[in-house]
C-alpha cells in the first residue's frame, strides 16, 4: 500500500482507494478512483503530493483531466478490480505501523525491569 492523499479533504492515508479515516470519503465513481490513483506517492513525488494536499484543503485543487482519461479507460475494463476496490476497509496510518508491537513489548520489559529493581532495594 502506498501513501495517498484524500481527494476530498487532503488528509494523508494509506492506499489510494481506501476510505479516508478523517472525512470518511471513499471513491466509488471510476473518475474518483482514477483521481485517487493520481494522488499517491507512486504517481507523484512527495513534494507534489504535499502541494496537492494543501490545495485540496484550500479548495482550489485542479487535477489535469488529460491524465485521468487513460486511467479511467483502464479501470472501466476491469470489473473485478472495481468490485474489489469498492469493498476495501478503512486503514489508519497508526494501525499499519509495523514497529508498534515491538515497541509495546520493549515498554513492558522496561517496566518489568524497573519493578524488579525497586523490589531488590
Binding site for Zn ion (CB under 5 A): 6, 8-9, 11, 20, 22-23, 25
Residue with Cβ nearer Zn ion (94 or 118): 94
Q: Phi-psi region for residue 111, left (φ > 0), alpha (ψ -120 to 50) or beta?
A: alpha
Nearest to 58, CA basis, from 6, 3, 4, 9: 9
Considering the complex, what minimum distance in angstroms separates the CB of residue 84 from Zn ion? 21
Considering the complex, what minimum distance in angstroms separates the CB of residue 52 from Zn ion? 13
Considering the complex, what minimum distance in angstroms separates the CB of residue 62 from Zn ion? 18
Residue with Cβ nearer Zn ion (23 or 107): 23
Q: Phi-psi region for residue 20, left (φ > 0), alpha (ψ -120 to 50) or beta?
A: beta
Considering the complex, what minimum distance in angstroms separates the CB of residue 23 from Zn ion? 3
The CA-based angle 88-75-64, given to 5 degrees, is 100
Distance of alpha carbon 103 from alpha carbon 64, whole angstroms: 43
Residue with Cβ nearer Zn ion (39 or 68): 39
Residue with Cβ nearer Zn ion (23 or 115): 23
Amino acid at each position: 500500500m502506498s501513501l495517498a492523499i484524500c481527494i476530498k479533504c487532503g488528509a494523508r492515508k494509506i492506499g489510494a482507494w481506501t476510505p479516508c479515516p478523517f472525512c470518511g470519503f471513499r471513491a466509488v465513481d471510476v473518475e474518483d478512483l482514477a483521481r485517487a490513483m493520481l494522488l499517491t506517492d507512486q504517481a507523484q513525488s512527495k513534494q507534489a503530493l504535499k502541494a496537492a494536499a494543501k490545495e485540496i484543503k484550500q479548495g482550489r485543487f485542479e487535477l489535469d483531466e488529460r491524465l485521468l482519461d487513460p486511467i479511467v479507460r483502464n479501470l472501466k475494463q476491469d470489473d473485478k478490480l472495481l468490485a474489489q476496490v469498492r469493498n476495501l476497509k478503512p486503514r489508519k496510518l497508526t494501525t499499519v505501523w509495523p514497529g508498534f508491537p515491538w515497541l509495546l513489548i520493549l515498554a513492558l520489559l522496561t517496566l518489568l525491569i524497573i519493578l524488579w529493581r525497586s523490589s531488590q532495594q
